[in-house]
Structure 1
Amino acid sequence: MSKQRSATLTEAQRVSLAQKLLRERLCHQKLPDRPVGLDSQYKHLLELLRRTAVHGESNSILIVDPRGSGKTMVRSIKRCTPLLMTRVAKRWKISSKFLKYSRNLENFPGIFWNIPGIFGNFAENLAFLLEALKKGDKSSSRPVLFVLDEFDLFAHHKNQTLLYNLLDVSQSAQTPVAVVGLTCRLDVLELLEKRVKSRFSHRQIHLFSSLSFSQYVDVVRAQLSLPPDFPDPKFSDEWNHSATKLCEEKSVEEILKRHFNASKDFCALHSLLFLAVSRVSVSRSTLREADLLEASRLISADSKANVLHGLSILELCLVIAMKHLNDTYDGEPFNFQMVHNGTTSLSAHGKPGRFKKPLCAFEHLLQLELVRPVDSGCHNSFFFFLSRGRNVLPYNVNFIRNYFNNNFQILLLYI
């Protein structure tokens, strides 16, 4: 059947299907079975949750790491444990499965059960859940897993009521509860109140990857390979062979090494590979070295320099005037009149004529975030701005010299 289907596929359909599969993989619509390069952390968390599920131990743990390094993917560990998954992410939500199990009056006697959704606010939801957990029993109640994504946001909540009650339940000999917090802040424990911190087990897992460059290349090869069940085995073999040879090219290895040394973040790697896969077409049905080189060039391009490409003459003059003000006054705030006077000085040098609507051009630069208000709470904040020297870097303004050297001599005279 697969042979008949592969025979009916045209070259365009094969390429389109291959791109679709790889894009789904690179856009995280299909996550791997387990995190890469985090085996010890994965086993640590799995063992902790197994003790909760098998022995009825209540535990709490915090997973700390930078964004994009695999915190959210650790949730897939729920497939390995017979736990009831109740996810909490920025809003409180009671799992429908939890309500279904908790309606069993033999496990939780003496509670008046309400229809789901009848609770009007967070306090009623929390009171209902805590009452159900407190009526539980370590030997007979079903273990519950709470995953608190963006744990630091809950720490900023007034009185930290949710954290206090969940951790308090995890310290009691009632319903077995595992509380897993996910955060990217290393100082998150400093945000906790004393009563909350005293109930936390102070277990932390840091997901700092120990991935080597050879493992990194293996991940690239695996991400670019088509699955064995691809409808056209011949096309799949050719594609996978080209992906393997691509990873062996010296120029490609240099690109991957540069990205590896800059960041081991797989999100950045997926962005690079996504651009390379998008360049595949019917005329070029396999990945080439030039595709990855172009993708790397696009990824490493300076976004602010690209913004300068689309500015008008007036807007460029305002940027140059702000650059000079920023250098002259060492980053001190300035107002629109000072910037406008700078463009008048430019007009005196090059005699380009009178500019129209400079305030509109200045507002456009504000929308592009090339400048920003000093203090949004100030009465005259709209007219007082600080040049984003960290964004409009000196080499970006100097870039104008090379870009407009043939067409706009006015700018060159002033620079």
Structure 2
Amino acid sequence: MAQDINTIRSYIKQRLLNNNELYKFHKERRQLMELLQRTINYGESNSILIIGPVGVGKTTLINSVIDELSIAGCFNHDSILVKLHGLIHTDDKLSLRSITSQMKLDNAVDGKVFGSFAENLAFLLACLRKGEKQSSKSVIFVLEGFDLFCGHHNQTLLYNLFDISQSAQTPVCILGVTYRLDVIQLLEKRVKSRFSHRQMFLYPGPGEDESLNDLDFTLNILKWYLELPDKASMKIKSAVKKEWNKSINSLIGDKKFRNTIQRLIDLDMNINVLKNILLKCICSLSENNSVLTARIFEHELDLLESDDIVKVLKDLSVLELCLIIAMKHHSEIYDNQPMNFEMVYSRYVKFANKHASIQTVQRPVVMKAFEHIEKLELVSMISQGTSRVQKDYQFFKLLVTSQQISEAISKSHGIPTEIVQWANSSLT
């Protein structure tokens, strides 16, 4: 039994740590595969921007496609992969040095003097040519943090790479990776004119063809990682594999477990956070604890949430806590839309007037309490451009979850019953 648990644990850990396995974006993967194949097999030059929030799987998507092409045997023989990162290659000289090293052309460049960056780059690419365009070795450029390269002097690197992709030189494919939706606006006019304007957007959560809510989608991801496929090469009996998969299906259907995962979604839906929690839960398995339970996940989520937010909420005054509850109700009613002090104050006054036991507080005192909440970074101000807005009407966003507020109230002592009931009541 212990050996079976170790085998299952090792297999799932390998899946979680393998950054090239995709749980979605299959359509986008096929598109990127076709793009690279046209560059490698037919000598077509291409460029594309892959845009999506941090942790959505942009780099995983690229690595997955490159891995498959490498296994097929055509990638390593017919192309060269060059990876640059905007946080590391902060200017064009560092970029060119890295390109030279990754293309293994240090000896060819040694001793030669070039008048410009463009001449140097053109020489590097010319060194790879075998004759005609169709027989040239393709170069795949992956530019992580693409928006940071837009800050280079005159955007020389981007200009020359896109210029090469538009000309009949060495076939290149430029893959820009960024989280910025406005990245096209950062390009200079001459660079923008040479870019193909091909963009691929990756969004978290269910795709357009998936009629799932965030909870069901996240549960499907968990099931995808935790279930043992029938074709998985593992040295365990099929009966053990079936029993494990049965326990996972039972876990997915457990109401307490689903509530725990909903807490995670409210806290952070980043796939990397989810994988880290799964790793910790898998590592907790042993001979005496051979099945994943809702309690294991709840414990790990409690550790994740122990970021002192609940402690800060517990230390708030009764007035400040009332303002937080008013913000909570506003967020629930208006689907997390921003709010200003006037909205929060109006909701607080409405509650206070309903309960004679709640002491009436003057407006300036309430404003001071609101400012203290802002200093504690429980709310954040939303920029409204260059326009100057009166403090009472400046928009804010609540940065704590309903679960954190409820937990803080349940762990606090001496809070009036009316406030506890208000916090736990339905939308008002």
CA change 1:230–1:124 in 2 (3 A) is: farther
Give 2:19's aligned residue. Answer: 31
Contact kept, 8 Å, 1:144 with 1:178, in 2: the verdict is: yes
**Is the 2:146–2:177 contact (alpha carbons within 8 Å) kept by the matching residues of 1?**
yes
Change in Cα spacing, 1:371 to 1:40, as seen in structure 2 (3 Å) is: closer
Correspondence 1:405 to 2:413: yes
Kept after mapping to 2: 8 A contact 1:152/1:188? yes
Name the CA distance, whole Å, in 2 between partners of 1:291 and 1:68: 24
In structure 1, the partner of 2:140 is 145
Q: Which moved more, 1:139-148 or 1:184-193?
A: 139-148
Alignment of 1:212-227 (within 5 A): 212-213=211-212, 216-226=218-228
Of 184, 203, 212 in structure 2, the residue corresponding to residue 189 of structure 1 is 184
Q: 1:160 aligns with which of 148, 155, 169?
A: 155
- Asked if 1 retains the 8 angstrom alpha-carbon contact of 2:12 and 2:226, the reply is yes
Retained in 1: the 8 A contact 2:161–2:174?
yes
Match of 1:172 in 2: 167
> What is the 5 A alignment of 1:363-382?
none
Partner of 1:346: none
The residue aligned with 1:4 is: none
Whether 2:288 is the aligned partner of 1:283: answer yes
Contact 2:314 2:412 in 1 (8 A): no
Query: What corresponds to 2:251 in structure 1?
Result: 246
Q: Aligned partners of 2:224 and 2:261: how far apart in 1? A: 14
Structure 1 residues 260 and 48: CA distance shift in structure 2, 3 A: same
> Aligned to 2:49, what secondary structure does the other structure show?
strand
Distance in 1, Cα, partners of 2:303 & 2:152: 41
Rate the CA distance shift 1:16–1:162 in 2: closer, same or farther, 3 A: same
CA spacing shift, 1:144–1:257, aligned 2, 3 Å: same
CA radius of gyration, larger in:
1
SS at match of 1:145: strand
Q: What's the CA shift for 1:53?
A: 1.2
The answer to whether the Cα contact below 8 Å between 1:15 and 1:280 also exists between their aligned partners in 2 is: yes
- 1:303 is matched with which residue? 307
Structure 1 counterpart of 2:50, which letter?
I
Q: Deviations over 1:185-228 (max 9, x none)?
A: 11000011001101101001112345454665443223113473
Structure 1 segment 256-275 matched on structure 2, within 5 A: 256=261, 265-275=270-280
Q: Is 1:72 aligned to 2:52, yes or no?
A: no
2:83 alignment counterpart: 87
Give the match for residue 419 of structure 2: none
TM-score by length of 1: 0.63
More moved, 69-78 vs 242-251 = 242-251
SS in 2 for 1:99: coil
SS at match of 1:75: helix
Residue 62 (1) aligns with residue 56 (2): no
| Residue identity opposite 1:25 in structure 2 | R
- Secondary structure, counterpart of 1:303 in structure 2: coil
Q: CA deviation at 1:126?
A: 7.1
Residues 378-400 of structure 1, C-alpha deviation per residue, up to 9 Å, x if partnerless? xxxxxxxxxx9966899989987
Corresponding residue of 1:357: none
Residue type of the alignment partner of 1:133: L
Could you tell me whether the CA contact under 8 Å between 2:49 and 2:198 is conserved in 1? yes
Structure 1 CA distance for aligned equivalents of residues 194 and 141 of structure 2: 16
Cα deviation per residue 1:261-281 (whole Å; 9 max; x = unaligned)? 987643243244334334434
CA 70–86 in structure 1, closer or farther in 2 if over 3 Å, else same: same
Deviation per CA, 1:156-211, whole angstroms, max 9, x where unpaired? 22211111111111111111111110111110000110011011010011123454
Letter in 2 for 1:46: M
Residue 304 to residue 158, structure 1, CA distance change in 2 (3 Å): farther
C-alpha distance 261-369 of structure 1, shift in aligned 2 (>3 A): closer
- CA deviations on 1:243-294 (whole Å, 9 max, x unpaired) are 1322233443455567669876432432443343344343221112333344
Change (3 A) 1:310 1:218: closer
1:128 aligned onto 2:120: yes
Contact kept in structure 2, 1:64 and 1:182, CA below 8 Å: yes
The structure 2 residue matched to 1:229, chosen from 206, 223, 233, is: 233
Q: Which residue of 2 aligns with 1:375?
A: none
Cα separation, 1, equivalents of 2:125 and 2:99: 12
Distance change (3 Å), C-alpha of 1:275 and 1:145: same
Runs of 5+ unmatched residues, structure 1: 1-9, 104-111, 325-329, 332-365, 373-387, 407-415
Gaps of 5+ in 2: 90-94, 325-339, 342-374, 381-395, 415-428
- Distance apart, 1:31 and its partner CA: 3.0
Report the counterpart of residue 109 of structure 1 in structure 2: none
Question: What RMSD over aligned residues (CA atoms) do the two structures have, in Å?
Answer: 5.0
Residues 336-372 of structure 1 deviation map (CA, whole Å, 9 limit, x = unaligned):
xxxxxxxxxxxxxxxxxxxxxxxxxxxxxx9x98899
Taking a change above 3 Å as real, the CA distance of residues 396 and 53 of structure 1, as seen in their structure-2 partners, is closer
Q: Distance in 2 between matches of 1:390 and 1:217?
A: 27
1:151 counterpart letter in structure 2 = F
State the 1:298 CA deviation. Answer: 4.8
Query: What is the aligned length?
Result: 335
Aligned AA (1:128): N
